[in-house]
Amino acid sequence: MNTNSTKTVIVTGASSGIGFAIAQAYLERGYNVVGNARTLDRLEAAAAKLGNPANFLLVPGDISRASTAVELFTRAIATFGKVDILINNAGIFIPKAVADYTEADLDSIVNTNLKGFFFPSQQAAKHMSANKSGHIVTITAAVAMQPNVKVSALLPVLIKGGLNSATRGLAIELAASNVKVNAVAPGIIDTPMHGQDEATQSFLKQLAPNGAIGETQDVVNAVLYLTDSTFTSGTVMAIDGGATAGTW
């Protein structure tokens, strides 16, 4: 499909949860979507849920590997002509007391959350700077903006907090190339990541001052706002029911 007039977006972690909802939203807009997940099976299942649209390109691979980021952009450009938007959504969340973290936990979160941001963003910076246009949006975490004593999560705070700072740094670096760089920092969102039992839901509702759990559409709306914007860059937008506003 030729996309001289159609925008193309890459979404990592596109097979479920927030990533799936983001991919679906862009497809509904008529955009070309390049979806990444670790396995082809998961991507094919997601595509089937979406009705197997012709403009949904499946690129499986480990997002912590530089070669996967290169393949994402190479295949996107070969198929659709260019990439307008990168959504760094792939991520894992490991809440534990600091004493309980293992080296394997650290490796996992660095690989997915840090490398999974850096390598695609590096490719996006090269491609979008050359085109003098583009948007990079990273899904981070509200708890990295305002840690919460009820949720021990030093590794997510460490890495996602770094991504929030990197968002501002990259926004400044790419500003002269007309590339916007922003982040969305969700609080508790209703996804398969969280248990659906009454006790778990009751606890999660306590983590925001409005006593509610967000929906994936709340995050999607923020992402769409940012990629529609022509004058917003270097922003970390909290979508968290007010949890980062202070204590309550």
pLDDT confidence bin for 3, thresholds 50/70/90: very low
d(CA 19, CA 12): 7
Owner of token pair 């009705």: 51
Is the backbone of residue 178 left (phi > 0), alpha (psi -120 to 50) or beta? left
Select from 163, 151, 157, 73 the least CA-distant residue to 116. 163
pLDDT of res. 248 = 78
Q: Give the pLDDT confidence of 102-116 residue by residue, as tens digits.
A: 999 999 999 999 999
d(CA 248, CA 50): 41
Backbone angles phi, psi at 32, to 5 degrees: -80, 135
Q: What is the DSSP string of 127-187?
A: HHHHHT-EEEEEE--GGGTS-BTTB-BHHHHHHHHHHHHHHHHHHHHHGGGTEEEEEEEE-
- Is residue 92 predicted with pLDDT exceeding 90? yes
Amino acid (one-letter) located at 50: L
pLDDT of res. 179 = 98
Q: Give the pLDDT confidence of 28-71 residue by residue, as tens digits.
A: 999 999 999 999 999 999 999 999 999 999 999 999 999 999 99
Over its C-alpha atoms, the chain yields an Rg (Å, rounded) of 17
In this prediction, residues 233-237 reach a mean pLDDT of 98
- With vertex at residue 90, the alpha carbon angle to CA 116 and CA 136, rounded to the nearest 5 degrees, is 70
Select from 180, 236, 234, 242 the least CA-distant residue to 213. 242
Q: Give the pLDDT confidence of 127-153 residue by residue, as tens digits.
A: 999 999 999 999 999 999 999 999 999
Least confident of 28-37, 68-77, 122-131, 193-202: 193-202
In this prediction, residues 186-197 reach a mean pLDDT of 81
Select from 94, 144, 117, 109 the least CA-distant residue to 36. 117
d(CA 248, CA 240): 14
Which residues lie across from 182 on neighbouring strands?
137
Strands 236-239 and 179-186, sheet pairing? parallel
Backbone angles phi, psi at 26, to 5 degrees: -70, -35
Asked if 237 and 184 touch (Cβ cutoff 8 Å), the reply is: yes
Residue 205: enclosing H or E segment and its boundaries? helix 198-205
Q: Give the chain's domains with CATH numbers.
A: 8-239 (3.40.50.720)
Q: What is the DSSP string of 9-21?
A: EEEESTTSHHHHH
- Is residue 4 predicted with pLDDT exceeding 60? no
